[in-house]
Amino acid sequence: DVKVTQSSRYLVKRTGEKVFLECVQDMDHENMFWYRQDPGLGLRLIYFSYDVKMKEKGDIPEGYSVSREKKERFSLILESASTNQTSMYLCASRVSTDTQYFGPGTRLTVL
C-alpha cells in the first residue's frame, strides 16, 4: 500500500529557530511536493522536486528551502521560523502525471 510519512504530527517552535520537516515515501516516486494549508487559503505549493537534488519553487517559497538528497526523502527547512509560518504542512508524492499521495500533515506552531 502506498505510504507517505511525515516526521511529526505536531510541532511547536520558537521564533527564529531553524525547523526541519521530513517527508518519506516508499513508492519510488520521482516527484515530491511541499504544501501549506491555511483556513480560507487552501493548499499552496511551497516547493517541489522532480528528482534527486532537483528543486523548483512553487507559489510561496519565501522563507523556506528544501533538500532532496535521496529519492524517497524530501525535507522542508524553515531557516528562521516566524509566527506567520504557523500552519499545516503537507507533503505529497506522485509518479509523473498521476495522482498525488499525501502524508498525514504536520501542524506547526511558531510562538
- Residues found near other proteins in the complex (CB under 8 A): 4, 31, 33, 35, 40-45, 48, 50, 58, 90, 92, 96-97, 99-105, 107
Count Cα neighbours of 88 within 13 Å in the Cβ-side half-sphere: 12
Min dist. Cβ of residue 34 to other proteins (A): 11
Nearer to other proteins, 38 or 79 (CB): 38
Give first-to-last CA distance, the chain, whole Å. 37
Report the residue number, 37 or 67, with the smaller CB distance to other proteins: 37
| Nearer to other proteins (CB atom), residue 24 or residue 92 | 92
Q: How far is the CB of 82 from other proteins (least distance, A)?
A: 23
Q: Which grid cell sits at 32? A: 515530491
Shortest separation between residue 61's beta carbon and other proteins, angstroms: 13
51 SS3 class? coil
Q: How many CB atoms lie within 10 A of CB 12?
A: 12
Q: For the chain, what's the residue count? A: 111
User: Which is closer to other proteins, CB of 17 or CB of 24?
Assistant: 24
**Shortest spacing between CB 13 and other proteins, in angstroms:** 19
| Angle, CA 96 vertex, CA 29 and CA 98 arms, to 5° | 95
